[in-house]
Every structure is written in structure tokens, then in C-alpha cells.
Structure 1
Amino acid sequence: MSSPRAHFLVLTFPFQGHIAPALRLAKRLLAAAPDALVTFSTSEVAHRRMFPSNKPDGADEVPDDEHGGGRLEFLPFSDGTEAGYVRNSDPGVFNAYMSSFHAEGARTVAEIVDALAARGRPVTRVVYTLLLPWAADIARDRGVPSALYWIQPVAVFAIYHHYFHGHAGVVDEHRHDPSFVVELPGLAPQTIGDLPSFLTESTDPSDFFHSLFVTFRDLMETLDKESPKATVLVNTCQELELGALAAVGAAHDVLPVGPVFPSSDVSGIFKQDDESEYMEWLDAKPEGSVVYVSFGSISRMAREQLEELILGLEGSERPYLCVIRKDIKAALAGAEANEMPQHERVKNGMVVEWCDQVRVLSHAAVGCFVTHCGWNSVLESVATGVPMVCVPRMSDQRMNAQLVVREWRVGVRAQIDEGGVLRAAELRRCIDEVMDSSESAVELRQMAGKWKRVVAEATGKGGSSDRNLMAFVDDGARSAV
């Protein structure tokens, strides 16, 4: 009887910022292991948005020529809701959703694993992203090895690890003093204000994101259960975070396998604008002249911030491509918001609702990225050699900005006012600091070019991330025997 093929079940939370890196890793696993199978699974609601033309029931298999001979299958699980999480200012709504997601997700993923085995397609390795700690329990109960795919920096992983392993007290004691400096083992000193927001703002049960604090706590406890060590894949390369890797120490088997992304963007839950329009617009601009602006897939924007943003971009007198999501426009009730249709060209720029960010950042015309510092965006910017203006808000974003500004010196950090608004004058100042001809701006661009080369080498054949991924794949193949 022949041994089963290596079969990776990749599970992820149903937000675009989780789906994109998880799906990219799934495709890398297929490329690295030509005989392997991959099943990609997220919630039913997100699955329907990814594949709106497919039947809601049953699995979706991607065409052979697109993802390696039909070896990639998409099979959704239930989060216990009909519409997924719907934005609401009531923290009880979000925390109730997370409770349903954990309970129903665990139940239906267990059913998927059992059904795959019954079909003669047994899972040999479970890979899960950072808000699904129960995935490891499901795998362990069935004797299947699992790996956490950490889609934030190693430095942030190290902070969570140390917080939940004896260092919570000092953070909790000073959580209301953003300037207080915390020293965690092996890491550079950080202020309370730059630690992950779920550790400083969400520990109280009444907090909006308290369920995320609990989930991260459960995740760290889950990793501690693994024997002899938990495997943690990280979407970074060791050259970017040597110090942080050392800070984790020998607690877990941490493998940097990134930055993981394709030459162009992958399927997601947002519909892109017509690519030809904004790419042709970029083609007509001089090299390094365009400011690209995007604050990710979940950040919200008040009318005052939108007005300051456009005012600052216009005031910079540089061409710009600005992403303003459809849901943001819908939330800004009134004529002014409705007068900003898809693809409208304002005086110096173009506004789109969503775009292929990797392609945009790879375009020679783009010289600056104004970003919320989500880790996907940071990695894409570093890998394409584009300097950044950092406008972090929550979660890991402030720590990511520290890496960009202090560790790699490829960007500047914008200051927001007491009301949380990035003012037009500050935006113009930061854009100038990155894009003008000053000595500091030239150095930023040179450093951006340096790290682009470092990342290319790490992810290329035989590079550090490539070797780590191949080692993981080989281990997965042994698990299938």
C-alpha cells in the first residue's frame, strides 16, 4: 500500500490581511512540494466573497494551469453566522462573533479533517494563522502535526511570548503611560505606546477587542502544549529580524519563511478596480515621482481625516494614487463622499477603491508609500524597495513602524494630533522628507534598495527563507509516511 501524499490544510481568519498571506503560503507550499496537496480553508462568508460565481455548497478547485494541477482545493468552514462579522460600535457584538467563530470554527474544521480522511485525502499537516488556536488542538487530537503561521513580525511574536511568560505585570502596571519604557528579554527597549495594542488596551473584559487579547493568550498556551516544540512559521526573513529571533530563544522552533508573496496579488475578498486604468496612469508618470496611499483592508476613516489626507496630497504637488475603500465611502454619508466615484482623477492624483498593491509598489513610478504599517504592506514595500511614511494605528502596526524607521531606516513616522488625525501639513512634511533631494531622503532610498536586495536573496533559491520552507516541506513529507 502506497504512503499518502503530503497534504497541508491551511486555515485562516476571514479578514483580507490574514487571507492574503495564508493563500500566498499555500501557493508556495505547492511550488516547493510538487507532489503535495493543499486545502485552503476560511469562513464560508469570506469564501463566497472570494468565489462569488461558484456554488455555495461543496469544494472549489482552482483550474490546473493556475495552481499546479488542481492540487489546491478551497473548502470553507462555518463561523456560525450568515453574514460574518458586521461592523458595529458595540463591543459585545464583536466579542459575540469571536465566540461563535471559535466554537463553530473548531467544530466544522474537525468535520473537514475527518471528511478529507474519509475521501482518501488525509491531512498530514495543519497550518493555521494567529487567531485560530483551536486548530492545533484539532490536529493534536487526530495525531496530525501542526504549525502556527505567524503573519506579524518575529519581534511582535517575541513580545506576546514574553508578556504571557512572566512579564505581564510591568506592562499592566504602566499601560496608561504610553511613554513608559519596557525592557523585555532580548528586545530593544520599547515604550508602552509602541507595544501591540491588544496587550495595552484590551485586557479589560469591557474593552472592544478583549476577545482578541484572550485569543492571543490561548494561542501562547496552545504553543506551550506542543511536544517537543511548537513549529512557528513566520512571514519574515531572518536577515530582517536577527535580534528578535534570538529574543524568542529556544522556546519554539521558529522558521522565517518570508516575505511570502507572489509576483502579483492573489485572490481576496475585495474586488479590484480595473487594473489597466491605474497601471496606464502610472506608466505616464516619471520614475520615483508617485505617492501611493493605502491604509489597508479594515482601518476606518472619518470625514475630517479624508479631507486632511486629500488636502495634504494635493498640497505636496506630487502625483498620487490613493486607495479609499468602498465601505469607507459608504460610511461617509452625504454628497461629498458620493462625489468621489471610482477612478475619479482629482487635480494631481487618482483615487481607487482597491488595487493590486504588489504591482503598484513594483512600478518604477512609485517613490513613496503612505501606509498604516500592516505587516503585509510593510513587507511588500520593503521587498519592492519603496520608502514609507508610517501612520500606524493599532495591533502590531506601531511596532512595525519602529522596525521601518529605527531598525531598517527605510521610512519616517508621521505624527497624528490629539484627536487622532494626520494633518495635511504633517503629511506634506513626511512626503518631502522621503522624496526630496536632501541627504536624509537619499539615504532612505539607498537603504530601501539595500533591503530589497537582501529580501530577494533570502527568498530566492537557496536563500535563508527558501531553505527554511524546504525544511518544513520535507518534514511534512516525512509526516505523510
Structure 2
Amino acid sequence: MASTKPHVMVLPFPAQGHVTPFMELSHRLVDHGFEVTFVCTGLIHTLLLDAMPRNTDGNKTPLEGIRLVSIPDGMAESDDRRDLCKFVEAVSQYVPGYVEELIRETEASGEKKVKWLLADVNMGFCFRVAKNLRVRVAAVWPAAAASLGMWFRIPQMIEDGLIDDKGVAKREGTYEFGPKMPPICTARMPWVIDGPPEGQQAMFQVVVSDNAQATRHAEIIVCNSFLDAENTAFELFPEIVPIGPLFADQEFRKPVGQFWPEDASCLEWLDAQSDSSVVYVAFGSFTIFGSRQFQELAEGLERTGRPFLWVVRPDFTSGGLSKAWFDDFSSLMAGKGMIVSWCPQQQVLAHPAVACFMSHCGWNSTTEGVRNGVPILCWPYFADQFTNRSYICDIWMTGLAVTAGEDGVVTKEEVQSKLEQLIGDKEIAERVRMLRDAARRSLNEGGSSYANFKRFVNLLTE
């Protein structure tokens, strides 16, 4: 007998920082009676399956109500998917066709009709395809509302002479949309990434300009943020509806779409530490450090004399780091610090032993820090992370930022100094608590995100 549950297709941009909030949203929708088809590109699909946690009987934890489906990303097997320009170009060119094919196949197979496509704004090039197949579209923005608002203001920035129509800065300086909004620095536009200028211009056109315009095909734009965090942004851009901060479940039992197996042994290690004593260090899935910067960070952590939990992905350094040096450092720190390749971050940030979070300021990490009341030492790498740093340091005032020297390197002395400053600042600690409480209120019955999510669910069930 066919299920009476409404069927939605969920489509994140194929990157860790996008898949996680979409998986969290999917779990929430399952809780509200939906069936979810979760669509990932082939490589991401494989990573998700391989990293899925196992039950006590050794079997993979099932994703209740969520069906994982893969489509090609348009790249050859040997292509470098860390080349963002080439990757985005392939995805934007080929994925809309694969999504169309998947929707048609789903319906032709006798499965229930896909009622809605819940797609990442970064996948806006798929919106029209869905509309043409009479599938309704909801745009989901997994980052700060201020970042999307900037995309919406691109025509104005061109008109004001800040950037040209290819996204290239025409003058140096900052641009402000309003009070209590992160300023836009022309040297750090989110589409400015490593690579040739033509690649950056393609990124600007496809990812930013075209996708911002594509939101007109959506009936609603929901955002993984909350009202008190970004009051001005939601006043300036009332079409963006906050439903966050998203999380899968309070008990951390539901998988949130990690790409690498989590080393849960760090939770036992944290249990053995004193409350508010541990420095948690994690820079997300994209950040890469040179060997000298890596060593300065390591020695800075050592100098604090504090216990630390440090996530070091296998591809975290760009080469040149001596294995012997790292092995010696790891042995030296064995009693004081723990180094893992990936960890259950939400559980770590909720742990009472954690004193502060040294972070690249990805939006997921930022909101997870906020929701758990953890002050953040900011070390942004690229894209919207500089906007998020501005919120943390200048607007919410719930953290500090590291400052690099003239050679671009953050020294061990700077790491030690800023960590000690942050952990000892009682005013920051109080503001962190206030923002945490505001986030939690927004999610509880009567809160703004709670009401908005209810409205979103009602729309999807129409």
C-alpha cells in the first residue's frame, strides 16, 4: 500500500558544510511526517555511506525516513574536485539534467510523486528544471542571512561602483548595508578564491549572481539562522525566513551526514578533563595550512599548558610537514592533548569540559558554538567565513580573532595570547550565554524559529 506521507526531494550543494544542515533539516521533516529523498553527487554519496556510524550489532545506523540517492557530478574520476572553479562549472552544467532525470524516473517507477524540491540556493541552477516538471521549489540557505543578503545586493554594488559586472572590486575598502550587519570587504568577496581570474569570474556568475536570481523560482527561502542573531539582516531581507539553528536531535543519535568516520574516543577523553578546561581546535573540511603555520599552531597550543582536542584531517597541510616532527609533537603531547582525524563536533561542543573553540568560522561551526554557549577564537579561511568572524567578534562580541604577522603567519605567541585572553574574558562569557539562551528560546514553542518552521511544514503539506 502506498504511503500517505508527503514526499520531498532534498538537494544540498556537494560539500560537507552544506550536507550537514540539509541532513539535519531532513531529520526534522521526517519527525513531522515526511518522506525524504536525499540527493548527493556520487563521491559524496559514497563518503556518507562509508562514514555512517554502526550499531552495537555492527550494522550501519539506518536513516529512518531518508533515502540516499546519488547522481553524477559531471566530472571525470581523475579530476581534482578541490579545484572549486572547475567543480562548480561541472556541477552547474550537468547536475540540472541529472536532477530532471531523477525526478522523471522516480515518478515513472510508480513511486510517489515528488511534491517539493528543497534545494540549496547554491544549486539554484536546478530550480527551473523542477518548476518545469511541476515540482514546487523551496530554497534553503545553509549560512548566515547576511551572506545571502549580500548576493541579493549585487546589482546595487555594481551600480554603486564597488564591483564590476564580473564581480571584480573596482575600489578598496568596505561596504555596509546597515548597522549591526557585517561589512563587506572588497578584498574578501566570498567568490574570491585561489585560481585564475576567469575562474573567479565564473564562480561569481554561476554561484552568486545566477543563483541569487534563481531564488525567484522558489516559493519560500528558509535560512539556518535565528532572529536574534541577525536582526538587521532579517529586517533588510524579509523574504529570508529563519528556521535555525538546525540540529538533528537533542540526543545526538541521528547521523548528520559526515564525510569521514568520527573518532568517538575523544568523548571519553573529554570526560576525564575538568570542566571548562579544554581548547577545541577544528577548521572544517576545506581549510589547508602550510607546514610552518601548522607548527606555529601546534607550538601555540603547547604553550598554553591547557588540554586540547585538535582535529587534523589527513589533507590538512599542504605538504612539507616533517612526519618525524609531528610524531615527536604527538608523543610529547600524549598526556595533555588529543589529536583526531575527525570527531562528533556537536557532542564535543556540548561537553562541559570544553572552554573555547578555535574555528575557521564556517556557519555550521559558528551556530553549533552559539547553541552550546562556547566562545570562539576565529581563524577564517575563505568565502563567508570572514562575514561570520565579523558577527562573532564585532557584532555579537562572543569571541576574538587571531591576527597574522606581515608574512601572513599567525605565530605561536599570538595563538597562546589570544586563547588566554578569550578564556579569561568574563564579559565575553556572559554575552556567549545570552546568545545561547536566545538561540534556544527561538527553537522552543513560542519562539520565532519554531513558528517559522511550523509555517514551512504547513506549506510543504499543502
**Alignment TM-score > 0.5, same fold:** yes
1:74 match = 68
Cα 1:191–1:130 shift into 2, 3 Å = closer
2:416 match = 428
Q: Residues 8 and 124 of structure 1 are in contact (CA less than 8 Å); yes or no, is this contact kept in structure 2?
A: yes
1:450 match = 434
Query: Which shows bigger deviation, 73-82 or 333-342?
Result: 333-342
2:275 match = 287
RMSD over aligned Cα atoms? 2.9
The DSSP-based 3-state class of the residue aligned with 1:328 is coil
Deviation of the 1:133 alpha carbon: 1.3
Tell me which amino acid in the other structure corresponds to 1:231.
Answer: I
**For 2:267 and 2:412, how far apart are their aligned partners in 1?**
26
**For 1:358 and 1:401, how far apart are their aligned partners in 2?**
20
1:197 partnered with 2:187:
no
**For 2:176 and 2:42, how far apart are their aligned partners in 1?**
42
1:373 partnered with 2:361:
yes
Query: Which shows bigger deviation, 445-454 or 299-308?
Result: 445-454
Superposed CA deviations along residues 155-193 of structure 1, whole A, max 9, x for unmatched, are 111111112345464322793765x23133676472525
Question: Which of 134, 141, 144 pairs up with 2:132?
Answer: 141
Deviation of the 1:446 alpha carbon: 1.1
Deviation of the 1:97 alpha carbon: 2.8
Tell me which amino acid in the other structure corresponds to 2:347.
Answer: R
**For 2:195 and 2:81, how far apart are their aligned partners in 1?**
21
Deviation of the 1:121 alpha carbon: 1.6
**For 2:181 and 2:447, how far apart are their aligned partners in 1?**
27
Deviation of the 1:344 alpha carbon: 8.6
Question: In the comparison of the two structures, how many residue pairs are matched?
Answer: 447
Q: Please give the residue correspondences for 1:317-466 in structure 2 after superposition, counting only pairs within 5 Å.
A: 317-328=305-316, 331-332=319-320, 334-336=322-324, 339=327, 345-346=333-334, 348-436=336-424, 441-466=425-450
The DSSP-based 3-state class of the residue aligned with 1:133 is helix
Q: Residues 349 and 374 of structure 2 are in contact (CA less than 8 Å); yes or no, is this contact kept in structure 1?
A: yes
Superposed CA deviations along residues 19-65 of structure 1, whole A, max 9, x for unmatched, are 1111111111111x22x2111011011101111399xxxxxxxx998
Q: Residues 136 and 219 of structure 2 are in contact (CA less than 8 Å); yes or no, is this contact kept in structure 1?
A: no
The DSSP-based 3-state class of the residue aligned with 1:98 is helix
**For 1:148 and 1:84, how far apart are their aligned partners in 2?**
32
Tell me which amino acid in the other structure corresponds to 2:161.
Answer: V
Cα 1:284–1:347 shift into 2, 3 Å = closer
Q: Residues 329 and 337 of structure 1 are in contact (CA less than 8 Å); yes or no, is this contact kept in structure 2?
A: no
Cα 1:403–1:30 shift into 2, 3 Å = same
In structure 2, the gaps of 5 or more residues are 53-58
Deviation of the 1:417 alpha carbon: 2.1
**For 1:271 and 1:76, how far apart are their aligned partners in 2?**
20
Identity of aligned residues (%): 25
Cα 1:386–1:343 shift into 2, 3 Å = farther
Tell me which amino acid in the other structure corresponds to 1:356.
Answer: P
Tell me which amino acid in the other structure corresponds to 2:270.
Answer: L
Q: Please give the residue correspondences for 1:88-99 in structure 2 after superposition, counting only pairs within 5 Å.
A: 94-99=84-89
1:122 match = 113
The DSSP-based 3-state class of the residue aligned with 2:407 is coil
Q: Please give the residue correspondences for 1:31-70 in structure 2 after superposition, counting only pairs within 5 Å.
A: 31=31, 33-34=32-33, 36-52=34-50, 66-68=62-64
Deviation of the 1:348 alpha carbon: 2.8
Q: Residues 41 and 72 of structure 2 are in contact (CA less than 8 Å); yes or no, is this contact kept in structure 1?
A: yes
Tell me which amino acid in the other structure corresponds to 1:320.
Answer: F
Tell me which amino acid in the other structure corresponds to 1:245.
Answer: F
Tell me which amino acid in the other structure corresponds to 2:102.
Answer: I
1:159 partnered with 2:172:
no
Superposed CA deviations along residues 123-173 of structure 1, whole A, max 9, x for unmatched, are 111111132112211111112211111111011111111123454643227
Question: Which of 204, 211, 234 pairs up with 1:213?
Answer: 204
The DSSP-based 3-state class of the residue aligned with 1:51 is helix
Q: Residues 121 and 215 of structure 2 are in contact (CA less than 8 Å); yes or no, is this contact kept in structure 1?
A: no
Deviation of the 1:288 alpha carbon: 0.5
Cα 1:53–1:393 shift into 2, 3 Å = closer
Cα 1:99–1:341 shift into 2, 3 Å = farther
Superposed CA deviations along residues 377-435 of structure 1, whole A, max 9, x for unmatched, are 00000000000111112111111011111221110111112333221111111111111
**For 1:359 and 1:350, how far apart are their aligned partners in 2?**
16
Deviation of the 1:3 alpha carbon: 10
Deviation of the 1:347 alpha carbon: 5.6
Deviation of the 1:212 alpha carbon: 2.5
Cα 1:209–1:352 shift into 2, 3 Å = farther
Q: Residues 8 and 37 of structure 1 are in contact (CA less than 8 Å); yes or no, is this contact kept in structure 2?
A: yes
2:55 match = none
Cα 1:53–1:406 shift into 2, 3 Å = closer
1:107 partnered with 2:97:
yes
TM-score by length of 1: 0.85
TM-score by length of 2: 0.88
**For 1:267 and 1:191, how far apart are their aligned partners in 2?**
31
Q: Residues 125 and 476 of structure 1 are in contact (CA less than 8 Å); yes or no, is this contact kept in structure 2?
A: yes
Superposed CA deviations along residues 231-275 of structure 1, whole A, max 9, x for unmatched, are 1110001121111111114xx3x21111112343623211222x1
The DSSP-based 3-state class of the residue aligned with 1:419 is coil
Tell me which amino acid in the other structure corresponds to 1:18.
Answer: H
**For 1:108 and 1:153, how far apart are their aligned partners in 2?**
29
Tell me which amino acid in the other structure corresponds to 1:248.
Answer: F
Tell me which amino acid in the other structure corresponds to 1:111.
Answer: E
The DSSP-based 3-state class of the residue aligned with 1:421 is coil
Question: Which of 221, 245, 256 pairs up with 1:232?
Answer: 221
Superposed CA deviations along residues 178-209 of structure 1, whole A, max 9, x for unmatched, are 5x2313367647252585431xx369972554
Deviation of the 1:211 alpha carbon: 3.1
**For 2:94 and 2:8, how far apart are their aligned partners in 1?**
21
Q: Residues 20 and 258 of structure 2 are in contact (CA less than 8 Å); yes or no, is this contact kept in structure 1?
A: yes
Q: Residues 292 and 321 of structure 1 are in contact (CA less than 8 Å); yes or no, is this contact kept in structure 2?
A: yes
In structure 1, the gaps of 5 or more residues are 55-62
